[in-house]
Structure 1
Amino acid sequence: MADFDYQTFLPGGQHWSLRLRRGTTMTLSAEAADTNVSMLFYNPENLLERLSLPDTLKAQHTFKLTTGHCLFSDMGRIFASIVADDLGWHDSVGGNLHAAHMIEKGWQPVSFQDALNDRTQTGHDSFLIELAKYELGARDLAANLNLFSKVVADDDGRLSYVPGHCQAGASLTLRFEMDTLVALHTCPHPLDPAADYPKRGVTIGLGSAAPVGDDDVCYRHCAENARGFANNRLYHLGAA
């Protein structure tokens, strides 16, 4: 595995949040097949600015996310770019695991009082726990990204989950283009068909990125991405 400035392992069904500086890379490596990592992004200097998946998809004319794609804020800036990816498809529309999904699937809830950190958590509650650390709450939730998961749509718009899309060892690297508050969890995808609540962890490595050049795969992906990078340059000049 590559050398990182910091590395940790987040077990399945857990959550974390951290502030990452511009120019930081985050590499995520799946522990097992069908790992899911859900993410939300916020601007730590203005928490009203957050990840907008509708803007991300509209700007890049895509339903799936992979290398070359950028993750846009609702202010037209770029939080992060996908600079490496083993899978070629990450879910942008599947949403987050709620208590109702657990009931529908027959996944037995296990409380903290009964199992401590081995409890079963929903993605919804996981995000709320992390956001509360920054005085954010339910009204601050937005559509979340599901890394490592693949959801497809049929001709009638019905969504279905693709088991086996992610295999153990699959990885993805994000490069952060502005300071970003990252909230993430490793709870299962809401459409995961597993018979029991799955706990699949992820290794997280943090490093430093080289400066973005004119030949960068994310910058050159489309004109909208170039405009997003220009918006970031303006923001970092203090003229936002």
Structure 2
Amino acid sequence: MTTATTHGARDHARAQDGTEVEAMPRIPAPDGAVWAETVAGGNYTHKVLARGTEVRFTDLEGDACAHVLLYVADRPFERLNVADTVKVLWNAYPGAGHLLLSDQGRVLASVLAADVPVETVCGTSTLARNTARYGDGSPHGASPAGRELLKLAAAKNGLAPRDLPPSISFFKGVRVDPDDGRLTFENSSRPGASITLRAEMPLIVLVANTAHPVDPRPDYACTPLDVLARPGTPTRPDDPLWNSTPEARRAFLNTADHLTARGIA
């Protein structure tokens, strides 16, 4: 089939209808889900999610690394602040029961379950670093950098490179030496490991599935990531998570105050 003519190109495109590959969105999402997608290693995805949505990321083969950014959907100048998440919650290694905070002290998402490392120190990889390490960091090359992929995801949501703060990473761990501050990479994920977040505000979610920036292996290594999101209910004051710590209670109160004033809560 030739694509040299308009009709040939149309026929070729239509012949792909119904084709399924390993990594792709599943539309419509099955079984009441609102987002179902397999993201190839070295690729990205994005979605706008309603408040209360529960989204699960799963490492299918044991070598995924999800670099994630969160923004309030209708006011994306409020966004994930990894530094405040660590500082306010007194924990550089968040897991189940922890909160992901915005730069305004509100809860963007809560971590419902996690059997994977959550990394808050390094952010994602850059064009210059991947080019130096692997020979290419471009978004469509053999070893795309996370920041380059997040730029593409951001652009599809009306956001520019200046809107990309440091990201949080799932499935690869980094430990900070308490004596000299050196970083130790922990390739500690496994096939089937997962983390589930609950959106506490309407969110834009950007995800780049790329090799971790301090992965010491000489070759670019990243395997598929599964994303599945279902409707849910945001955290309420009678949920133990709301009052788990004084800092959590304050963050949830900040969130409720903001949403109530806007008629959303």
TM-score relative to the length of structure 1 = 0.89
Amino acid of the structure 2 residue aligned with 1:67: A
Over aligned residues, Cα RMSD in angstroms? 2.2
Tell me how far apart the structure 1 counterparts of residues 229 and 38 of structure 2 sit (CA, whole Å): 12
1:230 to 253, 257, 264: 253
1:46 counterpart SS class: coil
* 2:120 corresponding residue in structure 1: 92
2:65–2:222 Cα contact (<8 Å) kept: no
Tell me how far apart the structure 1 counterparts of residues 222 and 91 of structure 2 sit (CA, whole Å): 29
Tell me how far apart the structure 2 counterparts of residues 74 and 4 of structure 1 sit (CA, whole Å): 32
1:42-191 → structure 2 map (5 Å cutoff): 42-87=71-116, 89-105=117-133, 107-109=134-136, 119-154=142-177, 155-163=179-187, 165-191=188-214
Q: Which moved more, 1:199-208 or 1:76-85?
A: 199-208
1:199 to 203, 212, 222: 222
Tell me how far apart the structure 2 counterparts of residues 125 and 50 of structure 1 sit (CA, whole Å): 19
Shift in Å, 1:218: 3.0
CA-to-partner distance for each residue in 1:16-69, whole Å, 9 max, x for gaps?
111111010000110222321001111122121110011111111001010011
Gaps of 5+ in 2: 1-29
CA-to-partner distance for each residue in 1:164-187, whole Å, 9 max, x for gaps?
x10111011000000011111101
Cα 1:217–1:29 shift into 2, 3 Å:
farther
Cα 1:110–1:238 shift into 2, 3 Å:
closer
* 1:220 corresponding residue in structure 2: 243
2:51–2:233 Cα contact (<8 Å) kept: no
Amino acid of the structure 2 residue aligned with 1:62: N
Aligned length: 232
2:137–2:145 Cα contact (<8 Å) kept: no
Gaps of 5+ in 1: none
2:220 counterpart SS class: coil
1:41–1:180 Cα contact (<8 Å) kept: yes
Tell me how far apart the structure 1 counterparts of residues 122 and 238 of structure 2 sit (CA, whole Å): 32
2:51–2:234 Cα contact (<8 Å) kept: no
Cα 1:131–1:118 shift into 2, 3 Å:
same
Tell me how far apart the structure 2 counterparts of residues 233 and 78 of structure 1 sit (CA, whole Å): 9
Shift in Å, 1:95: 1.5
1:27–1:171 Cα contact (<8 Å) kept: yes
1:70–1:82 Cα contact (<8 Å) kept: yes
Tell me how far apart the structure 1 counterparts of residues 46 and 247 of structure 2 sit (CA, whole Å): 29
2:109 counterpart SS class: strand
2:119–2:170 Cα contact (<8 Å) kept: yes
1:80–1:174 Cα contact (<8 Å) kept: yes
* 2:51 corresponding residue in structure 1: 22
Taking every aligned residue pair, what percent have the same amino acid on both sides?
29
CA-to-partner distance for each residue in 1:46-101, whole Å, 9 max, x for gaps?
121110011111111001010011000011111100001113x3100111111232
2:121 counterpart SS class: coil
Shift in Å, 1:118: 7.1
Higher relative contact order (CA 8 A, sep 6+): 1
Shift in Å, 1:145: 0.3
Amino acid of the structure 1 residue aligned with 2:82: L
* 1:33 corresponding residue in structure 2: 62
Cα 1:3–1:172 shift into 2, 3 Å:
farther
